[in-house]
Amino acid sequence: MTAPDIDAMKKDLRRRMEGAIEVLHQEFGGLRTGRAAVSLLEPVTVHAYGSDMPMNQVGTVSAPEARMLTVQVWDKGLVHAVEKAILESGLGLNPASEGQVVRVPIPALTEERRQEFVKVAHKYAEDARIAVRNVRRHAMDELKRAEKDHQISQDEQRDHGKEVQDITDLHIGQIDDTLNNKEQEIMQV
């Protein structure tokens, strides 16, 4: 394994770890915090035109008030499907339609519900940590293989392994910071 190969491996390592953090941010976007956020309805899919479609492909989602989301449905025939999708999403929301607009009031979270959301946030963060560690393990295996095949020396393998660990620690730290911020956001009354 030559120096450019090692650099490419590290670049790929960073890209894949950043991907795990990006997925974490998307999952956290779907966690309710008691305030209306358009991202809350992103994971909801609507059965429309014979298939399941993301909410943002059947209407415009907006947050006109702190505790209210609205979905301006483009096709009047899909209003009922949008309501049903929100009801069945497991988010604990009760939509009401007015013409082609579906109003979704965001109820205040109880302490018990906040604790449940914190547990879900911890699960998402742990999944991201596992993904980052799997990327690290793959990179370490590549380095060991390169050393075994005499492409790099034992010292180079150890040095590059330390760099891989440093990159991993940096990304795990980012995950922990993101989790702490989300936890504070959820617990804020």
Note the pLDDT of residue 3: 59
Tell me if 121 sits within 8 A of 183, measured CB to CB: yes
Is the pLDDT at 4 greater than 90, yes or no? Answer: no
H or E element at residue 73: strand 68-73
Note the pLDDT of residue 108: 77
Looking at the chain, the domain(s) classified CATH 3.30.1360.40 span: 38-105
Class of domain 3-29+110-187: mainly alpha
| The CATH number, out of the four listed (3.30.930.10, 3.30.1360.40, 3.30.420.40, 3.40.50.450), of the domain defined by the range 38-105 | 3.30.1360.40
pTM of full prediction above 0.85: no
Q: What is the pLDDT of residues 9-23, one digit of tens each?
A: 889 999 999 999 999
CA distances (Å), 24 to each of 41, 131, 147, 166, 180, in order?
A: 16, 10, 34, 20, 13
Looking at the chain, the domain(s) classified CATH 1.10.132.20 span: 3-29+110-187
Percent of the chain with pLDDT strictly greater than 70: 95
Average pLDDT on 57-80 reads: 88
Residue 88 backbone dihedrals phi, psi, to 5 degrees: -90, 5
When computed from its CA atoms, the radius of gyration of the chain, rounded to whole angstroms, is 22
Q: How far, in Å, CA of 97 to CA of 53, rounded? A: 19
Note the pLDDT of residue 116: 81
Per-residue pLDDT band at 56 (split at 50, 70, 90) = confident
Q: What is the pLDDT of residues 22-36, one digit of tens each?
A: 999 888 877 766 667
